[in-house]
Amino acid sequence: MTKQQITILIGLGAAVFLVFCGLVSLVLSDQMTLGQSAEATRPAVVLATRTATLTNTPTVTPTGTATPIPTPSPTNTRVVTNTPVLTPTPAFSVSDMAYVPPGTFTMGSTEADVARALDLCNEDASDLDCERYFYEDEIPQRTIYLRGFYIDRHEVTNAEYCRFLNEMGNQEEGGTQWLDIAAAGDVWYYEGCKIIVSEGQYRPRKGYEDHPVTHVTWYGAKAYCEWAGKRLPTEAEWEKAARGTDGRIYPWGNTFPQDGTKVGNFADENHRTVQFIELIKGYDDGYRYTAPVGTYPAGASPYGVLDMAGNVSEWCDDWYAAYQGSTFGNADFGTTYRIRRGGSYVWGRPSIRTSARSRERPEVAGGDSGFRCVVSED
């Protein structure tokens, strides 16, 4: 082989090598392009699929973003993959609300009030050793100024809560769903949940449309109010709406009627057939469990707010905390319990007083737990 032939062969070899390298480069380039393309076009809807698992705790605080309201789902397994935005739907009307004007009112109880509450307990209670400390968290009595606000005249009903659920679903918050729809009746005190899923919609059980919703958590109450363009009342707002400015014991006045006037739904003679803690002997309000909201106009508060004593106990926005100036120590004060007010159909006179305080963990959906909403005046 001549030197010239060797040179030609080396040239051909180099050319073949260069072509080979080019082809390898092209193949790798295509693979990268394909990979990037596949990544870029991975359908974003996967994040929005309604079969994904709930991975975030829904917040009901409007974010102000343009995120659309999730499509309503009638099932109890509705899945949330984005933060719900609770635009008021429908816009509320203050025609169903009572106006509480700005000004001061008397909040809390005196030592004498607590002594009287203890007497009531001893008269109404069964299987319960009445103690002064039950009521000491109401002390001291103070004068509080509040701005004007509107408050729902009625407790929120099963029918109203169904409209909310059919739009927003029964979401999980605080580790539990807003409504404990599977709650069964309690053999001692409570009825089960009166909302069911039927034909793909949340519906009240027949005959319970205008009864107050029960088995709702604090989160579920708060979410409803914000969906409705309102908010939960503070504890002070609730007490002022219940007792007005004269420091009265009950919404209708200072004494429980002895003439049979029906002023609210409490643990009455209808409740005697089940085990009770307190019971107003000789009183008949006609209901063993919940009554339709607004059944007792004679029990209205000075502002015309109904069922502020009894029927269902009502969630307030506040944590259970010591009043300013209180010397009462309670391990439950803090950020574990939210306030509930007004007593319910399972409580008697000491617990339905306008100043009586009760509390529950916000994720608990009790059989007598309901609520109503407020809006600020401006």
Helix axes 158-168, 218-227, angle to 10 degrees: 80
Choice between 274 and 322, CB closer to Ca ion:
274
* DSSP-assigned beta bridge partners for residue 212: 157
- 318 makes contact with Ca ion (CB under 5 A): no
CA-atom Rg of the chain in angstroms: 31
Task: Measure the CA–CA gap between 373 and 370, rounded to whole angstroms.
Answer: 11
Task: Single out the segment in contact with Ca ion by CB under 5 A; choices: 157-165, 228-236, 281-289, 327-335.
Answer: 281-289
Looking at the Cβ atoms of 167 and 307, the one nearer to Ca ion is 307
| 70, 108, 342, 366: which one binds Ca ion (CB under 5 A) | 342
Residue 374 burial (CB < 10 Å; 0-12/13-18/19+)? buried
Measured from the CB atom, the residue of 171 and 265 that comes closer to Ca ion is 265
Asked whether position 287 contacts Ca ion by CB under 5 A, the answer is yes
**What's at 6, amino acid-wise?**
I
Amino acid (1-letter code) at residue 144 = I
CB of 270 to Ca ion, least distance (A): 5
Which residues 6+ apart lie within 8 Å of 169 measured at CB? 70, 72, 73, 75, 78, 80
Select 224 or 345, whichever has its Cβ closest to Ca ion: 345
240 CB-side CA count, 13 A: 26
Of 109, 157, 170, 311, the residue at the interface with Ca ion (CB under 5 A) is: 311
CB of 266 to Ca ion, least distance (A): 5
Stretch that binds Ca ion, among 69-77, 92-100, 141-149, 335-343 (CB under 5 A): 335-343
Interacting span for Ca ion (CB under 5 A) from 23-31, 214-222, 260-268, 331-339: 260-268
Strand partners, 152: 97
Q: Which of 138, 152, 278, 307 forms a contact with Ca ion (CB under 5 A)?
A: 307
Residue 274 CB, shortest distance to Ca ion, in Å, is 11
CB 176 within 8 A of CB 363: yes
Please select the residue that binds Ca ion; options are 170, 177, 217, 265, rule is CB under 5 A.
Answer: 265
Per CB under 5 A, which of residues 130..159 are in contact with Ca ion?
Answer: none
- The candidate with the shortest Cα–Cα distance to 109, out of 75, 137, 144, 88, is 137
| Size of interface with Ca ion, in residues (CB under 5 A) | 9
Q: Which of 285, 318, 360, 368 binds Ca ion (CB under 5 A)?
A: 285
Exposure pattern of 45-69 as b/e (b: 16+ CB <10 Å)? eeeeeeeeeeeeebebeeeeeeeee
124 binds Ca ion (CB under 5 A): no
Residue 242: CB minimum distance to Ca ion, A? 9
CA atoms within 13 A on the CB side of 250: 25
**Which residues sit opposite 105 in a β-bridge?**
144
* 189 vs 287 by CB, closer to Ca ion: 287
Question: Measured between alpha carbons, how far is residue 40 from residues 26, 36, 37, 49 in Å?
Answer: 21, 6, 5, 18
Q: Please pick, from the candidates 268, 278, 317, 360, the single residue that binds Ca ion as defined by CB under 5 A.
A: 268
**C-alpha to C-alpha distance for 189 and 195, rounded to whole angstroms:** 18
Least distance to Ca ion, CB of residue 370, Å: 7
Least separation, in Å, of the C-beta of 82 and Ca ion? Answer: 35
* Interface contacts to Ca ion, rule CB under 5 A: 265, 268, 270, 285, 287, 307, 311, 342, 345
